[in-house]
Amino acid sequence: MKRAAFGHIGFPILLLLPQLVIIAIFFYWPAAYAVQSSFYAQDMFGFTSTFVGLENYTRLAGATNYVNALNFTVIFTVLVTFFSLTIALLLAVKADKVIRGAKTYRTLLMWVYAIAPPVAGLIGVMLFDQSRGNLTQFLASFGYEFRLGVNYWDTASAMIAVSVWKQIPVNFIFFLSGLQAIPRSVREAALIDNRSGTSRFWDITFPLLAPTGFFLLIINITYSLFDTFGIIDTLVKSEPGNNPLTLVYRVYVDGFRGGDLGGSSAQSVVLMILVLILTIVQFRFLERRIHYT
C-alpha cells in the first residue's frame, strides 16, 4: 500500500469485486467441493452419496493403477525437467556468447513456446506413428521396432521427447535473460582471474544463474505435472489403455471416464497438497533471494 493512498472505501471494493466474485465461484467453491467430495462415495448413477471418511484416500494407496501413475509421474517429471533444463542451458550459454546472429538464434529457439501442447502432441503422433512415423522408420533402420501406444516405454519416451521439445524455449528465455543480467564487470573480472572457460562457467556463471535455475526447476516440475496433459492425451490418442499416464491424467480418466467423483476428488486433493508444498519451497527460497541479491 502506498503512503499517499486514497482513503475511499466504496470505490476500491467496487474495483475488487469482479476478481473476488470470479475466484469465489470458480476457485473457492470447486476447491471446497473437491475436498468435500473426497470424503464421500457416490453410487453409480450419482443420486446418493454416503460419507466414507478416508476410504477414498486409502483406496488410492492400494490401487495399482494409481501407484503406477504416481511412479511414472515421478520418472516423467525428473526426466523432462532434467533434459529441458540442460539442453536449454547449453543453448542459452552459446546464444549469450555469439555476437553474429544472436537475435536470429534467440527467435529461432523461442518461437515454439507459442505452440499448443496438443499440437506438439500431434506432431509427435505423426513422427512416432507405428507404421508411418518418420522417426519410427529411422529407428527401424537400426533394427529397433518403436511401437507407440503398444510398448509402455516407447510411449513414455515419445511423451518425454515431445514434452522436452515444448519446454526448451521457456527455459531458454529465462536462462538467457539470467545470463544477460550478469554484470559486465563481473564477467571481465572473472576473465582476468581465470582463463579456463569451463571452470569459469562452474565457478562464476553457474552460481550466479542458480536463482534462475531454481525458479525454473519449480516451473518445470509444475509444467511436467499439469501442462503436459495435452501432449499425453494426443499421444495416447485419448485411449488410456495400458499406456503410461501422469497423475493429472488419472484425475481426468477416473473422474470423467470412470465417473468416480470421490476417487477423482481425493486425487485432486493429493495434487493440491503437492502443489502447496512446491509453492512453500518456492517462497522460502524467493525470500532468501531478496535478502542476498
Residues 111-140 that bind another protein (CB under 8 A): 111-119, 121-123, 125-127, 129, 132-134, 137
Site for another protein, residues 1 to 20, rule: CB under 8 A: 1-9, 11-13, 15-16, 18-20
Report the distance separating Cα 165 and Cα 110, nearest Å: 11
Pick the binder of another protein from 238, 284, 287, 292 (CB under 8 A): 238
Report the distance separating Cα 31 and Cα 37, nearest Å: 10
Three-class secondary structure of residue 46 per DSSP: coil
Pick the binder of another protein from 42, 152, 230, 242 (CB under 8 A): 230
Closest to another protein by CB, 53 vs 241, is 241
**CB 141, min distance to another protein, A:** 13
**CB 153, min distance to another protein, A:** 20
* Residue keyed to cell 493512498: 5
**CB 232, min distance to another protein, A:** 11
Binding mask 161-200 for another protein (x = CB under 8 A): ----x--xxx--xx--x---------xx--x---x-xx-x
Pick the binder of another protein from 61, 67, 75, 98 (CB under 8 A): 98
Binding of another protein by 209 (CB under 8 A): no
Residue 131 DSSP class:
T
Pick the binder of another protein from 50, 74, 140, 226 (CB under 8 A): 226
Stretch binding another protein (CB under 8 A), from 32-40, 54-62, 73-81, 139-147:
32-40
Whether 40 contacts 262, CB under 8 Å: yes
Whether 248 contacts 230, CB under 8 Å: no
Three-class secondary structure of residue 117 per DSSP: helix
Binding of another protein by 110 (CB under 8 A): yes
Task: Specify the pairing of strand 40-42 against strand 49-51.
Answer: antiparallel
Largest CA distance in the chain: 75
Binding of another protein by 56 (CB under 8 A): no
What are residue 49's phi and psi, to 5 degrees?
A: -135, 140
Least Cα distance to 207 among 171, 179, 173 occurs for: 179
Least Cα distance to 221 among 170, 176, 177, 275 occurs for: 275
**CB 33, min distance to another protein, A:** 4
